[in-house]
Amino acid sequence: MVKVQQDDNTQEKILEAARAVFLEKGMDGARMQDIADRAGINKALLHYYFRNKEKLFETVFLEAASRFFPRMVNILTADTSLFEKITRFVHHYISMMAENPYIPLFVLNEVQKQPKTFLAKVFGNRRPPIEELAKQVKKEVAQGIIKPIDPRQLMINMVSLCIFPFVAKPVVQWVLKMDEKAYSAFIEARKTEVATFIIDSIRK
Amino acid sequence: MVKVQQDDNTQEKILEAARAVFLEKGMDGARMQDIADRAGINKALLHYYFRNKEKLFETVFLEAASRFFPRMVNILTADTSLFEKITRFVHHYISMMAENPYIPLFVLNEVQKQPKTFLAKVFGNRRPPIEELAKQVKKEVAQGIIKPIDPRQLMINMVSLCIFPFVAKPVVQWVLKMDEKAYSAFIEARKTEVATFIIDSIRK
DNA sequence: TTTGCATTTAACCAATTGGTTAAACTATAT
DNA sequence: ATATAGTTTAACCAATTGGTTAAATGCAAA
């Protein structure tokens, strides 16, 4: 059926446009008219597909989040060495941010505006499996494999190094005078740069 | 003259309220009525003091920025060793974020929505003096004092490690199960943790 | 050919919101 | 006492915006 295909096309066009507009403007700044325009349709059809702005956003966001979390949980709970774990974590985290660059800033905003509600919606009951990594760090510190470090600080460092260049993309581009291509290359390079940066820091 | 004093009080009350509301809601989400309410005045008086939302925002933000930049420029252009520079940079950056925790997320949002306009307004013509640090890094790499590293990556790492824990404060608190006191202690500890983390990473 | 979904057009509504205005009141400086 | 600046009240305007509606069109499946 060609119709169904058309249907999917339009829906995907809308989601793509929504991603772009939400990225640029945030939830408050995003205009339904903008999204419709960018999707090449009109407002009526936009509301025909998604009842309202909130639903549209939820669809866009949960779609990305549902791809994100399972992979990170896998990496963190896998039976691998600490250095291997850090390397894989950084690579995958940066890759996923690069694929969904609109997410992190949005999350930070929503979580700022309504911490409880939002965190509940995203994580539900489950928390990120940080205990695994913490234990592993403590163990390797005790064994003298790595330098002493607070596992919590290490974890925040890892996430900071992965996420920040995305939420600060325009500033990074401006300060370092990068066009899109240079920025992409810079991010690509970070996948290994950040991993070695972290490992070099804690290795004895 | 008591009047002038009253005047200053009201103006400061408005700016304080504006800071709070802008922090919570961002530029788009912030409502003039909210600001007036929180300042304990009415909308008419708010507009009596600040012609419009944009002017108010500008005042609030530039006031904070004008305290921030000179200090960082000083540190970056000072005639000190690289490790000293990194240490001072991290300490001051984190201190200033702790004093103005509402700024970073706000900046990231505005710069996302209107990169040119906002960056021009904040930085004007001048850019952060990154060349100094870049040269210093290249020199010490060449001299074999530190490991080879792209100065740009290093600088982004420094800033990421300083800023991110603030923009992600609610998430950090939730994931690591911290109350306000624990979070403050965590941030305080970062002033030295982050500095040694970076230096340990690049030191040969 | 008829049925039904996708899509457009275009007008419209209700709520929000930034911003204005004018009149009145208060307290103080002169 | 009077002028002046700070402040309130309250109504109002214009623009934006999320969302709705109804009628018409195109088009593929049956």
Distance B41 CA to C30 C1' (A): 29
Sign of the torsion angle spanned by Cα atoms A77, A82, A85, A91: positive
Task: Kindly report the nearest CA distance between residue B25 and chain A, in angstroms.
Answer: 7
Distance B52 CA to D2 C1' (A): 33
Q: Is residue A59 part of a domain?
A: no
Which of 84-143 (A) contact B at CB < 8 A?
105, 107-109, 111-113, 115, 119, 127-128, 130
| pLDDT at A148 exceeding the cut of 90 | yes
| pLDDT at B159 exceeding the cut of 90 | yes
A186 and A107 inside one domain? yes
Which of 4-43 (A) contact B at CB < 8 A?
23-26, 28-29
Note the pLDDT tens digit of each residue in A37-53. 999 999 999 999 999 99
| pLDDT at A8 exceeding the cut of 50 | yes
A26 and A98 inside one domain? no
CB A194 within 8 A of CB A90: yes
Task: Tell me what pLDDT residue B3 has.
Answer: 41
Task: Tell me what pLDDT residue A23 has.
Answer: 81
Q: Is residue A56 part of a domain?
A: no
Task: Strand C: list positions under 7 Å from protein Cβ.
Answer: 5-11, 16-22, 27-30
B149 and B181 inside one domain? yes
Which nucleotide has the shortest C1'-to-CA distance from B6? D6
A71 and A150 inside one domain? yes
| pLDDT at A4 exceeding the cut of 80 | no
A126 pLDDT band, cuts 50/70/90, is: confident
B19 and B67 inside one domain? no
Task: Kindly report the nearest CA distance between residue A79 and chain B, in angstroms.
Answer: 22
Q: Give the integer Cα–Cα distance in Å for A60 and B140.
A: 46
Task: Tell me what pLDDT residue B33 has.
Answer: 95
B123 and B152 inside one domain? yes
Task: Tell me what pLDDT residue A7 has.
Answer: 57
What is the mean predicted confidence (pLDDT) over A120-144? 90
Q: Which residues of B touch A169 (CB under 8 A)?
A: 112
Q: Is residue A55 part of a domain?
A: no
Task: Tell me what pLDDT residue A1 has.
Answer: 36
Task: Tell me what pLDDT residue A115 has.
Answer: 84
What is the mean predicted confidence (pLDDT) over A172-193? 98
Note the pLDDT tens digit of each residue in B40-62. 999 999 999 999 998 999 898 88
Q: Is residue A58 part of a domain?
A: no
> What are the residues with a C-beta under 7 Å from any atom of nucleic chain C?
A 3, 6-7, 9-10, 40-45, 48-49; B 1-3, 30-33, 43-44, 47, 51-54
Q: Give the integer Cα–Cα distance in Å for A174 and A180.
A: 11
Nearest CA in chain A to B172: A156
Task: Return the number of CB contacts < 8 Å for A and B.
Answer: 139
| pLDDT at A2 exceeding the cut of 60 | no
Say whether A146 sits in a helix, a strand or coil.
strand
Q: Is residue A148 part of a domain?
A: yes
B29 and B79 inside one domain? no
Residue of A152, A154, A178 best to disrupt the B interface, most CBs of B under 10 A: A152
CB-nearest partner of B108 from A107, A167, A176: A167
Note the pLDDT tens digit of each residue in B100-140. 887 898 889 888 877 888 888 788 778 899 999 999 999 99
* More confident: A146 or A27: A146
Q: Give the integer Cα–Cα distance in Å for A50 and B146.
A: 55
Which of 165-184 (B) contact A at CB < 8 A?
165, 167-172, 174-176
A86 and A178 inside one domain? yes
A35 and A106 inside one domain? no
> What are the residues with a C-beta under 7 Å from any atom of nucleic chain D?
A 1-3, 30-33, 43-44, 47, 51-54; B 3-4, 6-7, 9-10, 40-45, 48-49
Q: Give the integer Cα–Cα distance in Å for B171 and A119.
A: 8
- Residues of chain A with pLDDT > 90: what percent? 71
Task: Tell me what pLDDT residue B91 has.
Answer: 98
A28 and A127 inside one domain? no
Q: Is residue B23 part of a domain?
A: yes
Q: Is residue A159 part of a domain?
A: yes
CATH number at residue A13: 1.10.10.60
| pLDDT at A11 exceeding the cut of 80 | yes
| pLDDT averaged over every residue in chain B | 91
Note the pLDDT tens digit of each residue in A58-112. 899 888 888 888 999 999 999 999 999 999 999 999 999 998 887 898 889 888 8
| pLDDT at B193 exceeding the cut of 60 | yes
Q: Is residue B55 part of a domain?
A: no
Three-state SS letters, chain B:
CHHHHHHHHHHHHHHHHHHHHHHHHHHHHCCHHHHHHHHCCCHHHHHHHCCCHHHHHHHHHHHHHHHHHHHHHHHHHCCCCHHHHHHHHHHHHHHHHHHCCCHHHHHHHHHHHCHHHHHHHHHCCCCCCHHHHHHHHHHHHHCCCECCCCHHHHHHHHHHHHHHHHHCHHHHHHHCCCCHHHHHHHHHHHHHHHHHHHHHHHEC
CATH number at residue B121: 1.10.357.10
B67 and B139 inside one domain? yes
Note the pLDDT tens digit of each residue in B164-188. 999 999 999 999 999 999 999 999 9
B6 pLDDT band, cuts 50/70/90, is: low
Instruction: Quote the distance between the C-alpha of residue A20 and its chain's center.
Output: 15
| pLDDT averaged over every residue in chain A | 91
Task: Tell me what pLDDT residue A5 has.
Answer: 45
CB A111 within 8 A of CB B170: yes
Structural domain boundaries enclosing B33: 1-50
Nearest CA in chain A to B111: A170
Distance A51 CA to C2 C1' (A): 30
Domain count for chain B: 2
| pLDDT at A3 exceeding the cut of 60 | no
B163 and B193 inside one domain? yes
